[in-house]
Homo-oligomer: A and B are copies of this chain.
Amino acid sequence: MQGEIIAVGSELLLGQIANTNAAYLSRQAALLGVDIFRHTVVGDNKDRLRQLLIEALSRSEVILITGGLGPTKDDITRETIAETLGIPLIEDETSLLHIRQFFQQRGIAMSQNNQKQAMIPQGAVVLRNPSGTAPGFVVEKDGKEIVVLPGPPSELRMMFENSVVPYFKEKCQGEEKVILSRILKFWGIGESKIDEALSDLFEAGSNHSIAYLFQNCEVQVRITAKGKNSNEALRMIAGVEKIIRARIGKYLFGADDDTVAEIVGRELKEQKMKIAVAESCTGGLLGSLITDTPGSSEFFEGGFITYSNDAKQSMVGVSKKTIGEYGPVSQEAAAKMAEGAAKNSGAQIGISITGIAGPGGSEKDKPVGLVYIGLYWKGKTYVEKHLFMGSRERIKYSAAITALHVVRKFLQSGNHF
């Protein structure tokens, strides 16, 4: 099935927020066998939405629409769809009850405006909204499926998983066709090298394709395959993956939703070790990334944000002499910080970051982006020197991700520096 996504909202057109709903819906639609070939954003404007709906109905079998279901006058999606399809809106009693309860439970008076959120095109399948007031709905018209979902991402996602997936699964029984994709994640290999190694694979067959993306110093290679069913698609993906692994497998560190932080967490748990951090230019970002993984208290002890020179001395024992001779951004300081992180917290492993995030703060021989990453284990330290490019936030992020890869490589190599 061919589909498209329409997002309604002036906040998107004004650039106040990015269209993350379209990205989410694209990924989900593929799993249901709906091949998304267009995203469109329009403002909260009846005429423009109507025109776009007419276009979309002429070319797509599935139309996913998000946004504009709120209670205010701005919100015109519901009415515009009903008008364009020539279907009257009727009040859905269950939805109205749900909206009333939503406000009651919160001890807030329900505004008159919220009542219109219970209006649904006649004959539509209502999609319940457990985390908000606006129900969604699916209308069928001339064999096309028009799925309408609220704009807030958390409401949209819950509704999609709870209601839209079962709806489509039931519809598509028998005529299964799915698109699946798998992402392989690489570290330490550049764009030109990927190109060289995989160029013949980019010439996609009709039922599979590969593409790559550089993100946060990591390279993601995406394999996409279409099949009559999941098994067929998965078999195709496995075939391509095998070839890729044979060529550049040594740079592979994960797949799909794997993050380097999670992988580090898993390895630490397996080896029954805990880690501690000492962060200067990243200001705590590395610790924050490590603790994005649920259950991180099993392998993360904590650490020190040694932003000032005083903090480097008092918290992790970088001596005044070291700072005076080599500076706070140096191999020597990074080594001492990693050691102090471990010893002063009781963790087995210490990881440190010290660098110049910019835009100011550069010195002779020490440009913005210069970062030292230190690793301590069993009395030994290891330090890597890096030069990252980009904005302050980008340099911080690159440094933290790189530090995680330093730990990952150490843990996965049988604890060799």
Contact = CB atoms under 8 A, between A and B. Distances in A.
A297 B292 contact: no
A48 B39 contact: no
Interface of A: 10-20, 22-28, 30, 36-43, 45, 48, 52, 55, 72-74, 108, 111, 154, 181, 183, 192, 195, 202-203, 209, 211, 213, 215, 220, 222, 224, 274, 277, 279, 281-288, 290-292, 294-297, 300-308, 310-311, 314-315, 344-346, 357-360, 390, 392-393, 396
Given A19-B39, A39-B12, A40-B38, A311 B301 contact: yes
Contact of A311 (B284, B345, B390): B345
Nearest to A290: B283
Nearest to A40: B40
B224 A14 contact: yes
8 contacts: A12-B26, A15-B30, A18-B19, A22-B41, A287-B287, A294-B358, A297-B307, A302-B306
Nearest to A291: B283
Contacts of A24: 15
Main SS of the interface on chain A?
mixed
Contacts of A25: 15
Contact of A300 (B22, B27, B283, B285): B283
A312 to B, nearest CB: 8
B284 A396 contact: no
Contacts of A392: 292, 294
Top 8 nearest A-B pairs (CB, nearest first) are A284-B284, A283-B291, A284-B287, A15-B26, A302-B311, A15-B27, A39-B41, A302-B307
Given A213-B17, A287-B283, A305-B304, A73 B23 contact: no
Nearest to A35: B13
A217 B40 CA distance: 28
A126 to B, nearest CB: 24
Contacts of A38: 13, 40-42, 48, 52
Contacts of A315: 302, 304, 344-345
A28 to B, nearest CB: 8
Given A291-B307, A307-B291, A279 B283 contact: no
Residue picked from A41, A55, A302, most chain B C-beta under 10 Å: A302
Contacts of A302: 304-308, 311, 315
A12 B23 contact: yes
A55 B38 CA distance: 14
Nearest to A109: B192
B283 A11 contact: no
B303 A308 contact: no
B213 A11 contact: yes
